[in-house]
Structure 1
Amino acid sequence: MTALSASSARRRLFTPVHAGAVVIALLTALPLYWLAASSFKPDAELGSTPPALWPSHPTLDHYRDAFGQYEFARYLANSLLVASLTTLGVLALGLFSGYALARLPMRGKRPILIALLMISVFPTVSVITPLYLIERQIGWLNSYQGLIVPYIAFHLPFAVWILRNYLLRIPFEMEESARIDGAGPTRTVLQIILPQAGPGLFTSGVFTFTAAYTEFLMALTFNSEDAFRTVPVGVALFGAEFEVPYGTIFAGSIAALLPIVVLVLIFRRAVVSGLTSGAVKG
């Protein structure tokens, strides 16, 4: 009976769902592994046939070129600054907006939520031209605010949805006690809601940071000066007219991925909790 029970437990542990998850994980990890391995290959091995799974003579030359010849450190600093300020702005506005939609009595909640959902899936390319004309008129081209403000506008609806659904799970009793003590909505949000909204804030923050950090089209259109370029644009413009430094591009891509990987690994539990919270709420 013990052997049969152990065999049955092993069969339950490895189901077709688990097998599918393993296959998806491998398919996802394979391009990342190939990118990392290629970033250490000498130029002579990048186009070798058959391709080598790992470089026979690993080198850091591509990383030196990325941070030296192409000033990758500046692009990385620009991306981190823009993504961080965008995330802070989205979380600050999203927390109060989500609280208003989740708690406060107001008319037109459903149309507002529908409008937010429509904005969150709106294609960026359709508004690039009018945004460019507006930013040229007010002098925001080749600046940080020229990216931060549009990023906040585009990523705020998703954050409001996430935070609103999460705040619906927080009990009313603590807010009622604060109201009895004379606390207004702002004080209630900062002292009662904020300490309990961690998972929702982490989820919104990670998704917002990642989206702003990796955005390409606006960054390419609005900032043409090298001093304000972000990582996606900087890596895309590596090389010269008749040269494509694939190894340096691979090295820059790996270096650009590290902040995202660290962020997700640190906050992965909070992200999963925030995504699943309020999943059955309206």
Structure 2
Amino acid sequence: MRQTAETYRKIRNTFRFLLGNLFDFHYETDRVKYEQMAEVDQYLINDLNVLVEKVLNAYENYAFDEVNRLIVTYMTNDLSAFYLDFTKDVLYIETTDNPARRSIQTVFYENLKALACLLTPIIPHTTEEVYSYVLDRSQKSIYLLDMPKITKYANSSELLQKYGDFLKLRDDVLKALELARNEKIIGKSFSSKVVIYPTEKAKKLLNSINDDVAKIFIVSEFVISNDPIEGSETESGIIQVTAREGKVCSRCWKVVDHLSDDELCERCDKIIKSLEEK
């Protein structure tokens, strides 16, 4: 019973987080097309499609326990522990209509709608409540919506393979961060600087990521070293974690070299000034 309660709490909290960050998102006017999304956002869309395909197959075989397992695992590992974690920086810090923020919100909306529909046969009252808070609803009730359809994109296989490997590298970085935290070298991960002397495979992978890797790792600085370093030996290479020297931005909490007179980093200073001009 306790495990069932925890599973339901995980599902409900995930829906609450998604809804909470869609309060100003109107799908028809604010959505970002797949081709214009950041690469990691495209990965999540494809990852969601993999889940949808597996869940629909499980429903066809009346494997309802498998449906529950697949969805909870996805919500826990792919969303909560990965995507929802690092995207908070963009969602909370950037301006309302920032393209990166709208791209993330589009991913959130697609996940919310698909997951709610997939779970409706199992927890109908909860998903109906979730749907009642969605802006621009196309139907009066979630019971009138069709199950989500699977969409295949030209780069689906490539992205799934690439980010599957990247998540393994990320696990190595997270272990090094946890070790540094246990040794009192750092507090929060955002206060850290991570340097990696990667294997050839890891170096090629990191150089192919079309995004800010430091943002995804939730650290203030990430450096790829061409020279051997001291640190934790992992399958991805040698990883060194130190406290990032500098000053803490009072808005985004990133450690940087210089702050404005208002104790803001360059990024936050520009955002605040743009808001004041409106």
User: TM-score, normalized by length of structure 1?
Assistant: 0.26
Higher relative helix content:
1
Higher relative strand content:
2
Higher RCO (Cα < 8 Å, 6 or more apart): 1
Report the structure number with the largest CA radius of gyration.
1
